[in-house]
Chains A and B, each alone.
Chain A
Protein backbone atom coordinates (compact mmCIF):
# COMPACT_ATOMS: atom_id res chain seq x y z
CA UNK A 1 0.00 0.00 0.00
CA UNK A 2 1.27 3.47 -0.85
CA UNK A 3 1.95 5.65 2.13
CA UNK A 4 1.67 9.42 2.37
CA UNK A 5 3.55 10.96 -0.53
CA UNK A 6 5.17 14.37 -0.25
CA UNK A 7 6.93 16.43 -2.88
CA UNK A 8 9.44 17.81 -3.30
CA UNK A 9 11.74 16.00 -0.84
CA UNK A 10 14.10 18.97 -0.79
CA UNK A 11 13.57 22.60 -1.71
CA UNK A 12 16.16 25.35 -1.68
CA UNK A 13 15.03 28.81 -2.66
CA UNK A 14 15.80 32.44 -2.03
CA UNK A 15 14.06 34.64 0.45
CA UNK A 16 10.93 36.27 -0.94
CA UNK A 17 10.09 33.43 -3.32
CA UNK A 18 6.85 31.51 -3.18
CA UNK A 19 7.15 27.91 -1.98
CA UNK A 20 4.53 25.21 -2.53
CA UNK A 21 4.69 21.87 -0.76
CA UNK A 22 2.49 19.01 -1.89
CA UNK A 23 0.94 16.01 -0.20
CA UNK A 24 -1.02 12.97 -1.29
CA UNK A 25 -2.65 11.21 1.67
CA UNK A 26 -3.24 7.50 2.00
CA UNK A 27 -6.30 6.43 0.03
CA UNK A 28 -9.31 6.15 2.32
CA UNK A 29 -7.92 8.53 4.91
CA UNK A 30 -10.14 11.55 5.40
CA UNK A 31 -8.03 13.54 7.85
CA UNK A 32 -4.88 15.35 6.73
CA UNK A 33 -2.34 17.16 8.88
CA UNK A 34 0.57 19.50 8.16
CA UNK A 35 3.44 19.62 10.68
CA UNK A 36 6.69 21.53 10.89
CA UNK A 37 9.80 20.23 12.63
CA UNK A 38 12.54 22.54 13.85
CA UNK A 39 15.34 22.12 16.36
CA UNK A 40 13.89 24.79 18.61
CA UNK A 41 10.21 23.82 18.59
CA UNK A 42 10.23 20.15 17.65
CA UNK A 43 7.23 18.75 15.78
CA UNK A 44 4.32 21.16 15.79
CA UNK A 45 0.94 20.96 14.09
CA UNK A 46 0.24 23.74 11.63
CA UNK A 47 -3.22 22.89 10.29
CA UNK A 48 -5.50 19.92 9.78
CA UNK A 49 -8.42 19.01 7.53
CA UNK A 50 -11.32 16.60 7.95
CA UNK A 51 -13.06 15.59 4.71
CA UNK A 52 -11.21 18.37 2.85
CA UNK A 53 -12.44 21.07 5.26
CA UNK A 54 -9.91 23.00 7.38
CA UNK A 55 -10.76 22.34 11.03
CA UNK A 56 -7.99 24.03 12.99
CA UNK A 57 -5.36 26.38 11.58
CA UNK A 58 -4.29 27.86 14.92
CA UNK A 59 -0.77 26.51 14.40
CA UNK A 60 -0.18 28.41 11.17
CA UNK A 61 2.52 30.89 12.14
CA UNK A 62 1.62 33.85 9.93
CA UNK A 63 -0.57 34.98 7.08
CA UNK A 64 2.31 34.13 4.77
CA UNK A 65 1.31 30.50 5.28
CA UNK A 66 -1.75 29.02 3.62
CA UNK A 67 -3.01 25.48 3.02
CA UNK A 68 -5.62 24.01 0.74
CA UNK A 69 -7.20 20.64 0.16
CA UNK A 70 -9.13 20.80 -3.11
CA UNK A 71 -9.97 17.10 -3.05
CA UNK A 72 -9.52 13.98 -0.95
CA UNK A 73 -6.23 13.02 -2.57
CA UNK A 74 -4.26 16.25 -2.63
CA UNK A 75 -3.21 19.09 -0.36
CA UNK A 76 -0.79 21.99 -0.63
CA UNK A 77 1.01 24.16 1.90
CA UNK A 78 2.13 27.47 0.48
CA UNK A 79 4.50 30.07 1.89
CA UNK A 80 4.50 33.47 0.22
CA UNK A 81 6.79 35.30 0.62
CA UNK A 82 9.26 32.87 2.17
CA UNK A 83 11.77 33.92 4.85
CA UNK A 84 14.95 32.24 6.18
CA UNK A 85 13.19 31.41 9.49
CA UNK A 86 10.76 29.21 7.55
CA UNK A 87 13.60 26.74 6.97
CA UNK A 88 12.50 23.45 8.51
CA UNK A 89 11.27 19.98 7.65
CA UNK A 90 7.58 19.98 6.79
CA UNK A 91 5.63 16.75 7.26
CA UNK A 92 2.22 15.76 6.01
CA UNK A 93 0.25 13.02 7.78
CA UNK A 94 -3.11 11.38 7.22
CA UNK A 95 -5.50 9.23 9.20
CA UNK A 96 -8.99 7.85 9.10
CA UNK A 97 -11.60 10.13 10.62
CA UNK A 98 -12.78 8.96 14.02
CA UNK A 99 -11.73 8.30 17.56
CA UNK A 100 -8.23 7.06 18.28
CA UNK A 101 -6.96 6.81 14.73
CA UNK A 102 -3.15 6.88 14.39
CA UNK A 103 -1.65 9.34 11.97
CA UNK A 104 0.71 8.10 9.27
CA UNK A 105 3.45 10.42 8.09
CA UNK A 106 5.14 11.11 4.80
CA UNK A 107 8.91 11.44 4.59
CA UNK A 108 8.79 15.22 4.68
CA UNK A 109 10.06 18.14 2.64
CA UNK A 110 13.31 19.69 3.81
CA UNK A 111 12.97 23.40 3.06
CA UNK A 112 15.91 25.80 3.04
CA UNK A 113 15.32 29.49 2.51
CA UNK A 114 18.52 31.38 1.73
Chain B
Protein backbone atom coordinates (compact mmCIF):
# COMPACT_ATOMS: atom_id res chain seq x y z
CA UNK B 1 0.00 0.00 0.00
CA UNK B 2 1.99 2.96 -1.31
CA UNK B 3 0.86 6.16 0.36
CA UNK B 4 3.15 8.34 -1.79
CA UNK B 5 3.41 7.62 -5.49
CA UNK B 6 5.57 8.98 -8.25
CA UNK B 7 4.10 7.40 -11.33
CA UNK B 8 6.75 8.53 -13.79
CA UNK B 9 9.99 6.58 -13.32
CA UNK B 10 11.85 8.90 -15.67
CA UNK B 11 11.65 12.26 -17.42
CA UNK B 12 13.84 13.77 -20.12
CA UNK B 13 13.91 17.53 -20.75
CA UNK B 14 15.94 19.89 -22.90
CA UNK B 15 18.22 22.35 -21.15
CA UNK B 16 16.48 25.69 -20.57
CA UNK B 17 12.99 24.20 -20.64
CA UNK B 18 10.72 23.50 -17.69
CA UNK B 19 10.84 20.19 -15.81
CA UNK B 20 7.66 19.12 -14.04
CA UNK B 21 7.81 16.23 -11.60
CA UNK B 22 4.60 14.87 -10.14
CA UNK B 23 3.64 13.14 -6.93
CA UNK B 24 0.34 11.77 -5.61
CA UNK B 25 -0.55 10.76 -2.09
CA UNK B 26 -3.44 8.89 -0.51
CA UNK B 27 -3.29 9.82 3.18
CA UNK B 28 -5.33 12.97 3.81
CA UNK B 29 -3.61 13.39 7.17
CA UNK B 30 -0.30 14.29 5.51
CA UNK B 31 0.38 17.96 6.13
CA UNK B 32 4.02 18.50 5.22
CA UNK B 33 5.60 17.65 1.89
CA UNK B 34 9.19 17.71 0.73
CA UNK B 35 11.24 17.19 -2.40
CA UNK B 36 14.71 15.70 -2.33
CA UNK B 37 17.32 15.36 -5.06
CA UNK B 38 19.70 12.41 -5.13
CA UNK B 39 22.91 11.91 -7.09
CA UNK B 40 24.49 8.43 -7.38
CA UNK B 41 26.50 7.35 -4.32
CA UNK B 42 25.24 10.32 -2.30
CA UNK B 43 22.44 10.79 0.18
CA UNK B 44 19.20 12.60 -0.70
CA UNK B 45 19.60 16.38 -0.54
CA UNK B 46 16.70 18.49 0.70
CA UNK B 47 15.40 20.84 -2.02
CA UNK B 48 12.16 22.47 -1.01
CA UNK B 49 9.12 21.85 1.17
CA UNK B 50 5.54 22.99 1.59
CA UNK B 51 3.06 22.75 4.42
CA UNK B 52 -0.59 21.99 3.83
CA UNK B 53 -1.65 25.54 4.68
CA UNK B 54 -0.04 26.75 1.47
CA UNK B 55 -0.54 25.87 -2.17
CA UNK B 56 2.75 27.17 -3.52
CA UNK B 57 6.31 27.64 -2.35
CA UNK B 58 9.13 29.03 -4.44
CA UNK B 59 12.90 28.98 -4.03
CA UNK B 60 14.90 30.24 -6.97
CA UNK B 61 14.39 27.95 -9.95
CA UNK B 62 12.33 25.50 -7.87
CA UNK B 63 8.62 25.82 -7.17
CA UNK B 64 6.40 23.30 -5.44
CA UNK B 65 2.64 23.32 -5.94
CA UNK B 66 0.19 21.54 -3.67
CA UNK B 67 -3.37 20.61 -4.64
CA UNK B 68 -4.91 19.21 -1.47
CA UNK B 69 -8.27 18.34 -3.01
CA UNK B 70 -6.52 16.22 -5.64
CA UNK B 71 -3.89 14.96 -3.19
CA UNK B 72 -1.27 15.97 -5.70
CA UNK B 73 1.94 17.94 -5.62
CA UNK B 74 4.39 18.89 -8.29
CA UNK B 75 7.90 20.29 -8.52
CA UNK B 76 8.68 22.76 -11.29
CA UNK B 77 12.26 23.48 -12.26
CA UNK B 78 12.75 26.38 -14.62
CA UNK B 79 15.01 26.80 -16.43
CA UNK B 80 16.32 23.23 -16.27
CA UNK B 81 20.07 22.76 -16.27
CA UNK B 82 22.20 19.65 -16.98
CA UNK B 83 23.31 19.67 -13.33
CA UNK B 84 19.69 19.06 -12.35
CA UNK B 85 19.97 15.54 -13.74
CA UNK B 86 19.34 13.30 -10.72
CA UNK B 87 16.68 11.19 -9.03
CA UNK B 88 13.95 13.28 -7.40
CA UNK B 89 11.98 11.95 -4.44
CA UNK B 90 8.84 13.42 -2.98
CA UNK B 91 8.09 12.71 0.67
CA UNK B 92 5.23 13.38 3.05
CA UNK B 93 4.72 13.42 6.79
CA UNK B 94 1.82 13.67 9.19
CA UNK B 95 1.67 16.08 12.08
CA UNK B 96 4.71 16.24 14.27
CA UNK B 97 5.61 12.58 13.88
CA UNK B 98 8.79 13.29 11.95
CA UNK B 99 8.17 10.15 9.91
CA UNK B 100 8.71 10.68 6.20
CA UNK B 101 7.04 8.44 3.63
CA UNK B 102 8.92 8.53 0.32
CA UNK B 103 7.81 7.99 -3.23
CA UNK B 104 9.76 5.67 -5.50
CA UNK B 105 11.58 8.51 -7.25
CA UNK B 106 11.70 9.99 -10.75
CA UNK B 107 14.95 10.09 -12.70
CA UNK B 108 15.32 13.44 -14.45
CA UNK B 109 17.69 13.82 -17.37
CA UNK B 110 18.34 17.32 -18.66
CA UNK B 111 19.94 17.24 -22.08
CA UNK B 112 22.33 20.00 -23.18
Contacts and interface: CB of A to CB of B under 8 A. Distances in A.
Interface of A: 4, 31, 33, 42-45, 48, 50, 55-56, 91, 93, 95, 97-108
B45 A56 contact: no
For the complex, would chain B's binding face be called helix, strand, loop or mixed by DSSP majority? loop
A91 B89 CA distance: 15
Contacts of B42: 107-108
Interface residues on B, range: 20 to 34
Q: Could you tell me the dominant secondary structure of chain A's interface residues?
A: strand
Contacts of A105: 36, 43-46
B11 interface: no
Given A105-B43, A105-B44, A100 B49 contact: yes
B110 interface: no
B6 to A, nearest CB: 10
B105 A33 contact: no
Given A100-B32, A100-B49, A105-B44, A95 B104 contact: no
Contacts of B99: 45, 48, 56
A106 B43 CA distance: 5
Contacts of A44: 102
B43 A95 contact: no
B11 to A, nearest CB: 18
B46 A102 contact: yes
Contacts of A104: 46
A113 B7 CA distance: 31
Given A31-B98, A56-B97, A100-B49, A42 B43 contact: no
B102 A42 contact: yes
8 contacts: A42-B103, A48-B98, A91-B44, A103-B100, A105-B36, A105-B44, A105-B46, A107-B41
A5 B38 CA distance: 16
A50 B98 contact: yes
Nearest to A6: B43
